[in-house]
């Protein structure tokens, strides 16, 4: 428990620690040496970063050169992974994208050994200079403001000295020399709201937890990022885990807790590893454990791996799961801040909220209050995915419009397709159409439009995505993840899913839509937790903004986006087929395409599984394969000749 | 894990100092990591160790998606169906795996070579659609890539069997 310091003892202790870290840094990587950093967070790894890393190692060893090679986290430009930054004296640090092993070899030989910075692979320089265009001149940087992501991709997450040298843990030291109440007041003045989705004022929660009398209090960092389409908590844990630890320790000091848990999904093995390493390193530096920075404050953190239940993102269900029970939510009140884990007052905050707190303490309440809109302060991190060019993470001030995020930062829709909708907030959020693109993104305007900030997942849909199928998908998800406690959520979602299933199969009836709306209202009202209360959102928003798509499915048996397999066929236009080309025949996984009489390729509709492989395979100069919906418009095509070979199969 | 140890002994090594109910989920996770799944005997032994009723252990084991009561295949295929993967044709990829493996989701093949599951989201949305093959994330999977991955497995198996015969 904390002992009040009236002097600056923690900051003095921190100063010593800081100097040590800085000198450790300059010893291991002096400025005059060449540095290569490579992003090896989950996206980087999926894109082949381990092979690139090995290629760098091999080439550096082969050419016997003096270079430091460091693994860092993710900058958020996941589309360009594997991503590499090379700092060579005499040049600005240059960021390269899509670095395959072959490109890695060239960078070592052409740039590091010779002097050609290989601009064909460069995304931009990380500093203003006269040689190479800086990355900051690109449109997205006009809108981005990296507070939470400031260290992501810059530092080695497994090296605590790098975090400390970058100013890390100074806020904790500063806080330990302040009174807990002053810290809460400071957070209150800053206007920081919970970044897990609901947007509850952080200071109020902290105050309530601190004011509830108890012999023990707990801190839980909610990293059970279950929303499909969101991956910022993963990135922060993988790329800058110490910022979360610092925020938790600070929170522990404020509310008077000595024990914290990081509840992280087991689906994030790398995040688990990195946060566990970081906790160990922090303990070794006495930034966790007993007597932190000589202040007498004691705090430690344990990592708990969630076992794969979406509902555990809900705070009361998360606590049940930590206690070793089924992840069932319970009615509130009592609030967790009053009676939470093992009935003790418990502070549950999202990864981003906790990571923000050190920044607020270090830079002051006025700094945060100066960013964002009147009611939503600071920045928000969004995960851009789906049909958008620059998939990845972006951090923007609250109030930035959807259009800026999708077009200026995300680079718009690829392949010349048209934007259809943006899905925000995962299964609890909604699909917003083009006419709402000028909506500023903050907690309140999104909820007014039927969406939700949620975890910040933003999935872009283009004209090739069916809105009914999308709604069906989310309902299938919430139906699978419903914990089963409340009848409306457990059974209501089944009924709705059945109806939507029928509609996507062309078996919908006209009064189905009315029934869906009624059911949606009942599920919202009859469910205990956020999962059930928000489960109908994706259906309600698609119904209000894209009703004509539902009607096309029901009345005309037509899927306007040509997605729903029961209502769509793939067809080769005979006039466009080149005849002598066999590209489609070879790629078809079910051998559904055969060569007809005059060499024209024909699809056997009975065998076709509608996987679209042939459409991708047909050379772009022909574009002979199209999709047709409704099925009644499918022209009569040649039948497969009954040869011996086809009979055998 | 060596064959000589009984399941109860394995549980003993996993929980040397039983604390109570709060250990339940980590213990189930560790047991699954060791045995590949949660056999009935293991759940009974855990219940005894933690002082719980076996039905309580079963209730928790069946609640969470990560925990499985049947053995997985040697090659574990997990198809991501998060939003981004779904938008980019994740369902087509799941269908491809089902078709190529002749397996329904959630099932293990009769020879225990392959198991096929769907996962909600692995947080690798920028690389959609993805499939996790033996804990390695395969990015931007297509139906032809599915065939390719399986072909690779088959060739490796043939090579392995050939080497064994040689010895």
Percent of chain A whose predicted confidence (pLDDT) is above 90? 83
Q: What is the pLDDT of residue B78?
A: 95
Q: How far is CA A625 from the centre of its chain?
A: 35
Q: What is the pLDDT of residue B11?
A: 85
The shortest CB-CB distance from A42 to any of B60, B95, B137 is to B137
Could you report the per-residue pLDDT of B67-126, keeping only the tens digit for each?
A: 999 999 999 999 999 888 999 999 999 999 999 999 999 999 999 999 999 988 887 888
Instruction: Count Cβ atoms below 10 Å from residue A485 Cβ, excluding itself.
Output: 19
| Nearest C-alpha neighbor of A73 from the set A51, A49, A104, A108 | A49
- Going from N- to C-terminal start, the domains of chain A cover 33-137, 160-369, 379-462, 467-556, 568-648
Q: How far is B83 from chain A (nearest CA, A)?
A: 5
Percent of chain A whose predicted confidence (pLDDT) is above 70? 98
Q: What is the pLDDT of residue B2?
A: 47
The shortest CB-CB distance from B121 to any of A228, A323, A384 is to A228
Inspect the interface and report whether the beta carbons of A383 and B125 lie closer than 8 Å. Answer: yes
Q: How far is A225 from chain B (nearest CA, A)?
A: 9
* Residue A47 forms contact with B (CB below 8 Å): yes
Mean local confidence (pLDDT), A490-508: 95
Q: What is the pLDDT of residue A435?
A: 93
Q: What is the pLDDT of residue A646?
A: 46
Q: How far is A262 from chain B (nearest CA, A)?
A: 14
Topology, domain A33-137: Glutaredoxin (3.40.30)
Those residues with Cβ within 8 angstroms of residue A359's Cβ, 6 or more apart along the chain or in another chain: A147, A148, A171, A368
What is the C-alpha to C-alpha distance for residues A74 and A70, in angstroms, rounded to an integer?
13
Pick the CATH number of A379-462 from 3.40.30.10, 3.40.50.410, 3.10.20.600, 3.40.50.300: 3.10.20.600
Inspect the interface and report whether the beta carbons of A46 and B96 lie closer than 8 Å. Answer: no
* Residue B155 forms contact with A (CB below 8 Å): no
Contact A562/A568 with Cβ under 8 angstroms? yes
pLDDT at A151 over 50: yes
Q: What is the pLDDT of residue A643?
A: 58
Considering the domain B75-166, what is its CATH architecture?
A: 3-Layer(aba) Sandwich (3.40)
pLDDT at A647 over 50: no
Q: What is the pLDDT of residue B167?
A: 59
Mean local confidence (pLDDT), A229-250: 95
| Nearest C-alpha neighbor of A103 from the set A47, A42, A41, A46 | A47
| Nearest C-alpha neighbor of A444 from the set A453, A456, A434, A433 | A453
Q: What is the pLDDT of residue A29?
A: 77
Distances (CA, A) of A176 to A6, A253, A358, B78: 10, 7, 12, 46
Could you report the per-residue pLDDT of A529-572, keeping only the tens digit for each?
A: 888 999 999 999 999 999 999 999 999 999 999 999 999 999 99
Selected residue of A611, A614, A627 to mutate for chain B interface (largest B Cβ count, 10 A): A611
pLDDT at B65 over 70: yes
* Residue A586 forms contact with B (CB below 8 Å): no
Could you report the per-residue pLDDT of A78-96, keeping only the tens digit for each?
A: 999 999 999 999 999 999 9
Inspect the interface and report whether the beta carbons of A426 and B135 lie closer than 8 Å. Answer: no
Q: What is the pLDDT of residue B135?
A: 87
Could you report the per-residue pLDDT of B131-153, keeping only the tens digit for each?
A: 999 989 999 999 999 999 999 99
Q: What is the pLDDT of residue A1?
A: 44
Q: From chain A, pick out residues whose CB is under 8 angstroms from the CB of B81.
A: 228, 473
Q: What is the pLDDT of residue B3?
A: 52
DSSP SS3 for A458 = strand
Mean of pLDDT over chain B: 90
The residues in B 22-61 lying below 8 A from A, measured between CB atoms, are: 22-26, 28-29, 59-60
Considering the domain A467-556, what is its CATH architecture?
A: Up-down Bundle (1.20)
CB pairs under 8 A between A and B: 163
> ipTM above 0.85?
yes
Q: What is the pLDDT of residue A135?
A: 87
Q: What is the pLDDT of residue B4?
A: 66
Q: Which helix (H) or strand (E) holds A381?
A: strand A379-386
Q: What is the pLDDT of residue A6?
A: 53
Q: What is the pLDDT of residue A53?
A: 97
The residues in A 526-585 lying below 8 A from B, measured between CB atoms, are: none
Using the Cα atoms of residue A158, residue A164, residue A168 and residue A172 in order, give the sign of their dihedral: positive
Pick the CATH number of A160-369 from 3.40.50.2300, 3.40.50.620, 3.40.50.11540, 1.20.1090.10: 3.40.50.11540
Mean local confidence (pLDDT), B11-33: 88
Mean local confidence (pLDDT), A433-461: 87
CATH code linked to domain B7-63: 1.10.10
Q: From chain B, pick out residues whose CB is under 8 angstroms from the CB of A305.
A: 25-26, 29
| Nearest C-alpha neighbor of A476 from the set B152, B4, B39, B86 | B86
């Amino acid at each position: 428990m904390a002992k009040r310091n009236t002097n600056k003892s923690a900051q003095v202790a921190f100063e010593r620690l800081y100097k040590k870290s800085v000198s450790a840094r300059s010893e291991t990587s002096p400025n005059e040496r060449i540095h290569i950093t490579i992003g090896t967070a989950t996206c980087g790894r999926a894109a082949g970063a381990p092979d690139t890393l090995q290629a760098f190692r091999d080439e550096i060893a082969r050419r016997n050169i003096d270079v430091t090679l460091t693994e860092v986290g993710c900058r958020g430009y996941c589309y360009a992974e594997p991503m590499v930054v090379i700092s060579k004296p005499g040049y600005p640090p240059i960021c390269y994208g899509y670095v395959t092993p072959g490109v890695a070899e060239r960078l070592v030989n052409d740039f590091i050994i010779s002097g050609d910075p290989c601009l064909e692979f460069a995304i931009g320089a990380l500093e203003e200079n006269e040689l190479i265009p800086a990355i900051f001149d690109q449109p997205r940087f006009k809108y981005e403001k990296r507070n939470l992501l400031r260290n992501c991709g810059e530092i080695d997450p497994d090296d605590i000295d790098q975090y400390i040298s970058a100013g890390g843990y100074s806020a904790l030291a500063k806080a330990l020399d302040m009174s807990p109440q002053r810290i809460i007041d400071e957070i209150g003045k800053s206007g920081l709201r919970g970044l897990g989705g609901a947007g509850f004022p952080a200071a109020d929660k902290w105050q309530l937890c601190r004011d509830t009398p108890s012999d023990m209090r707990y801190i839980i960092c909610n990293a059970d990022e279950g929303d499909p389409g969101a991956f910022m908590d993963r990135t922060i844990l993988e790329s800058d885990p110490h910022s979360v630890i610092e925020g938790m320790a600070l929170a522990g000091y404020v509310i008077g807790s000595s024990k914290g848990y990081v509840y992280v999904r087991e689906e994030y093995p790398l995040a688990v590893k990195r946060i566990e390493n970081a906790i160990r390193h922090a303990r070794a530096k006495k930034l966790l454990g007993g007597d932190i920075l000589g202040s007498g404050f004691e705090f430690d953190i344990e990592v708990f791996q969630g076992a794969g239940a979406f509902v555990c993102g809900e705070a009361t269900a998360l606590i049940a799961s930590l206690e070793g029970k089924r992840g069932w939510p319970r009615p509130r009140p009592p609030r967790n801040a009053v009676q939470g884990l093992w009935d003790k007052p418990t502070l549950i905050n999202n990864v981003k909220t906790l990571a923000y707190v050190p920044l607020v303490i270090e830079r002051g309440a006025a700094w945060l209050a100066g960013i964002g809109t009147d009611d939503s302060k600071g920045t928000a991190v969004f995960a851009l995915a789906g049909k958008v060019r620059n998939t990845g993470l972006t951090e923007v001030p609250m109030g930035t419009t959807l259009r800026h995020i999708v077009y200026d930062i995300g680079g718009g829709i690829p392949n010349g397709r048209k934007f259809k909708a943006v899905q925000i907030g995962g299964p609890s959020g909604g699909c917003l159409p083009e006419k709402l693109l000028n909506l500023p993104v903050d907690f309140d305007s999104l909820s007014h439009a039927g969406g939700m900030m949620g975890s910040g997942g933003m999935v872009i849909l283009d004209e090739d995505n069916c809105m009914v199928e999308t709604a069906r998908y989310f309902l299938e998800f919430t139906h699978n993840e419903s914990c089963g406690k409340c009848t409306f959520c457990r059974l209501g979602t089944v009924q709705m899913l059945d109806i939507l299933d029928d509609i996507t199969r062309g078996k919908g009836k006209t009064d189905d839509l009315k029934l869906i709306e009624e059911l949606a209202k009942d599920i919202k009202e009859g469910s205990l937790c956020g999962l059930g209360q928000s489960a109908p959102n994706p259906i309600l928003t698609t119904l209000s903004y894209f009703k004509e798509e539902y009607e096309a499915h029901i009345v005309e048996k037509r899927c306007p986006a040509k997605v729903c397999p029961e209502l769509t066929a793939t067809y080769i236009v005979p006039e466009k087929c080149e005849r002598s080309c066999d590209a489609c025949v070879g790629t078809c996984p079910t051998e559904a395409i055969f060569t007809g009489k005059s060499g024209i390729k024909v699809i056997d509709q009975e065998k076709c599984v509608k996987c679209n492989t042939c459409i991708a395979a047909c050379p772009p100069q022909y574009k002979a394969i199209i999709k047709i919906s409704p099925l009644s418009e499918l022209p009569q095509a040649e039948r497969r000749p009954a040869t011996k070979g086809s009979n055998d199969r | 894990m060596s064959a000589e140890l009984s399941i109860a002994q394995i549980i003993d090594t996993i929980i040397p100092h039983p604390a109570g109910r709060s250990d339940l989920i980590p213990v189930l996770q560790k047991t699954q990591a060791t045995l590949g799944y949660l056999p009935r005997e293991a759940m009974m032994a855990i219940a005894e160790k933690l002082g719980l009723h076996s039905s309580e252990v079963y209730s928790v084991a069946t609640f969470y998606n990560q925990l499985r009561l049947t053995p997985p295949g040697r090659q574990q295929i997990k198809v991501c169906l998060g939003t981004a993967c779904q938008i980019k044709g994740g369902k087509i990829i799941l269908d491809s795996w089902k078709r190529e493996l002749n397996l329904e989701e959630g099932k293990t093949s009769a020879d225990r070579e392959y198991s096929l599951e769907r996962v909600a989201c692995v947080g690798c949305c920028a690389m959609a659609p993805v499939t996790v093959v033996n804990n390695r994330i395969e990015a931007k999977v297509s139906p032809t890539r599915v065939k390719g991955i399986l072909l690779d497995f088959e060739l490796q198996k043939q090579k392995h069997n050939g080497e064994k015969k040689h010895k």
